[in-house]
Amino acid sequence: MVLFSKSVPALRGLRSRAVSYEGGSYLLSSCKAAGSSDHYATCAKLSEDPVKESSPSDMLIDSFGRLHTYLRISLTERCNLRCQYCMPAEGVELTPSSQLLSQSEIVSLANLFVTSGVNKIRLTGGEPTIRKDIEDICLQLSNLKGLKTLAMTTNGITLARKLPKLKEFGLNSINISLDTLVPAKFEFLTRRRGHEKVLESINAAVDLGYNPVKVNCVVMRGVNDDEICDFVELTRSRPINVRFIEFMPFDGNVWNVKKLVPYYEMLDKVVAKYQGLQRIQDHPSETAKNYRIDGHHG
């Protein structure tokens, strides 16, 4: 499967840290918040009175009447890469460890949402696999009654050796970020080595039976837009879904509109090479446009 994600303007000056709804409204933890108070709540407030003023169903409905059953939890803001589209080379100022969610706080917050109707949780970062208690977090979250999907988005650098235990402990969906199939480009984009480790993680996920293995690729003009069809080839014989993502502006990255490759241009490249491209049904909560190529496994 091939997916195309269109960019949307990011909120400037917003330091989101712990927990967020997929698709709109946010609920953040005990980190230092900068932005509208309408979008934030402290962990302490949640533990005091989680659903006193609204029923569980109301808690998951936003101002547009949409029901949200998908929760994203950022486990850490630390990362072992320095991707150019994500942060400056020198890194960013990190929130003190004392202000980050503890394992017990993560599980308590997740349980609150799951008992209210959330059935999918995605673990993100930063890079979630560098958190030392990642296996225990997965085990406890996967045991929450009512949770159907426990997913993770990772850069794949340390994933391969941890994935067997993570799968055993309930991680049943995986997204791996990879923006190039060329090792030299990878080192240029991420300011780090490790291209072979990411490929190893993708292969490990396939071998362990993840179906599909989802690969996220941020497309930038003059950098990796010539590799779009190479990425599509990953879907030919293995259960790999590739998501092409437009280059998005946000605080901390150096964004240039000239590097933006719009969705329709990416699609044109694929259509020009693959005659069997078919539009398929999108999930109601997805922002991506989904396509499948006849004869491809992914």
What is the band of 258 on the pLDDT scale with cuts at 50, 70, 90? confident
- pLDDT value of position 52: 43
- pLDDT value of position 142: 98
Closest CA to 222 of 201, 247, 205: 247
Closest CA to 232 of 187, 292, 173, 279: 292
Mean pLDDT of the chain: 82
What number is the average pLDDT over the span 184-206? 96
Tell me the H-state helices in 123-219.
Answer: 134-142, 159-168, 183-190, 195-207
What is the band of 267 on the pLDDT scale with cuts at 50, 70, 90? very high
Please tell me whether the peptide bond between 284 and the residue prior to it is cis, using omega within 30 degrees of 0: no
Q: Is the pLDDT of residue 16 over 90?
A: no
119-149 pLDDT, tens digit per residue, is: 999 999 999 999 999 999 999 999 999 999 9
Region of poorest pLDDT, from 59-73, 168-182, 205-219, 263-277: 59-73
If one compares 6 and 181, the residue with the highest pLDDT of the two is 181
Burial class (CB in 10 A: 0-12, 13-18, 19+), 279: exposed
Q: What is the DSSP letter of 244?
A: E
Q: Spell out the domains of the chain, with CATH numbers in brackets.
A: 2-293 (3.20.20.70)
Q: Is the pLDDT of residue 54 over 60?
A: no
Q: How far apart are the first and last CA of the chain?
A: 5
- pLDDT value of position 251: 56
- pLDDT value of position 204: 98
If one compares 93 and 27, the residue with the highest pLDDT of the two is 93
| Spatial distance between the Cα atoms of 168 and 123, rounded to a whole number of angstroms | 16
- pLDDT value of position 42: 29
Region of poorest pLDDT, from 68-77, 166-175, 231-240: 68-77
- pLDDT value of position 156: 96
CB 291 within 8 A of CB 279: yes
Q: Is the pLDDT of residue 85 over 50?
A: yes
> Which of 22-36, 77-91, 150-164 is predicted most confidently?
150-164
What is the model's pTM? 0.82
- Angle among Cα 85, 88, 93 to the nearest 5 degrees reads 125
- pLDDT value of position 8: 47
Q: Is the pLDDT of residue 95 over 70?
A: yes
